């Protein structure tokens, strides 16, 4: 398969290695807005860039009818526009806040626990994420997905906010430390004990592998998808 990489930083470089190991041809490694010319006619684009440029990058690819796997976080206020573009241009779009198998299993565990806690009043809930000091957005996209999973399964909560916990509002606390690849915790605390579920990424390889697997899966599909579709979760 011919893969174009839009965004060629920490993630783009690892994705490049994994794509080549899996027998794919990387036809573009872009650090600029994609065009029909510089994309070099790929089968799929894998986009890991920056919050402020992701929308324009994705739009350019979809308008050229090229399916996009997007891992960039921090731009989701325009996600519905992107999903409409995928349908209008008869191509495919898949956003994942986190492409690792471990985190997608963690998402499912989080939703199960949220449902269990729905009828238990003794516990408060709070989220924490820890990332490297270069990360531009806060909270992480993964933490937002975790909060949304809790809200969907536990009607005690209807919103999330950065660094602030209130009645019916989940607090997400973001810590930036050294070169941490990505650690996420969900805490339930009572007056007598604490329940914690936690995912710790040792490196970025799981994110990159998941993005390439998603690219292999999305080829020749049309519409909007998530990693649940790819993994059958």
Ligand X SMILES: NC(=O)C1=CN([C@@H]2O[C@H](COP(=O)(O)OP(=O)(O)OC[C@H]3O[C@@H](n4cnc5c(N)ncnc54)[C@H](OP(=O)(O)O)[C@@H]3O)[C@@H](O)[C@H]2O)C=CC1
- The residue with its CB nearest to ligand LZUJQKHR is 182
- Quick check: 141 binds ligand LZUJQKHR (CB under 6 A)? yes
User: 76 — phi, psi (to 5°)?
Assistant: -70, -10
Element at 174 (helix H, strand E): strand 169-176
Sheet harboring 68-70: ordered strands across?
25-30, 2-6, 44-47, 68-70, 92-95, 223-225
- Quick check: 34 binds ligand LZUJQKHR (CB under 6 A)? no
CA atoms within 13 A on the CB side of 68: 33
Looking at 71-166, which runs of residues are DSSP E strands? 92-95, 124-131, 159-162
- Quick check: 57 binds ligand LZUJQKHR (CB under 6 A)? no
Angle at 152 between CA 150 and CA 157, to 5 degrees: 60
Q: Which is catalytic among the residues 2, 79, 135, 222?
A: 135
Separation between Cα atoms, residue 217 and residue 5, nearest integer Å? 16
Tell me the window of 68-76, 106-114, 155-163, 166-174 that interacts with ligand X (CB under 6 A). Answer: 68-76
Window 86 to 125, contacts with ligand X (CB under 6 A): 96-99
- The residue with its CB nearest to ligand X is 9
- Quick check: 89 binds ligand LZUJQKHR (CB under 6 A)? no
Q: Looking at 89, 104, 110, 140, which residue binds ligand LZUJQKHR (CB under 6 A)?
A: 140
Which residues are at the interface with ligand X (CB under 6 A)?
A: 6-12, 30-33, 48-51, 53, 57, 71-74, 96-99, 141, 207
């Amino acid at each position: 398969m011919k893969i174009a990489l839009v965004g060629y930083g920490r993630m783009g470089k690892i994705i490049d290695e994994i794509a080549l190991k899996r027998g794919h041809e990387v036809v573009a490694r872009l650090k600029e807005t994609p065009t029909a010319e510089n994309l070099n006619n790929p089968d799929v684009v894998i986009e890991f860039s920056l919050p402020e440029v992701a929308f324009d990058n994705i739009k350019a690819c979809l308008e050229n009818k090229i399916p996009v796997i997007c891992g960039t976080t921090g731009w989701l206020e325009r996600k519905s526009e992107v999903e409409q573009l995928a349908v209008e241009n008869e191509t495919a779009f898949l956003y994942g806040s986190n492409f690792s198998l471990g985190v997608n299993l963690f998402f499912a565990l989080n939703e199960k626990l949220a449902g269990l806690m729905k009828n238990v009043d003794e516990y408060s809930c709070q989220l924490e994420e820890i990332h490297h000091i270069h990360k531009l957005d806060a909270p992480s996209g993964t933490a937002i997905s975790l909060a949304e999973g809790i809200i969907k399964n536990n009607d005690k909560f209807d919103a999330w906010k950065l660094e602030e916990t209130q009645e019916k509002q989940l607090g997400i606390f973001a810590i930036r430390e050294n070169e941490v690849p990505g650690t996420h915790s969900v805490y339930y605390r009572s007056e007598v004990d604490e329940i914690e579920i936690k995912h710790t990424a040792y490196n970025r390889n799981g994110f990159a592998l998941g993005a390439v697997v998603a690219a292999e899966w999305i080829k020749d599909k049309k519409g909007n998808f998530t990693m649940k579709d790819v993994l059958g979760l």
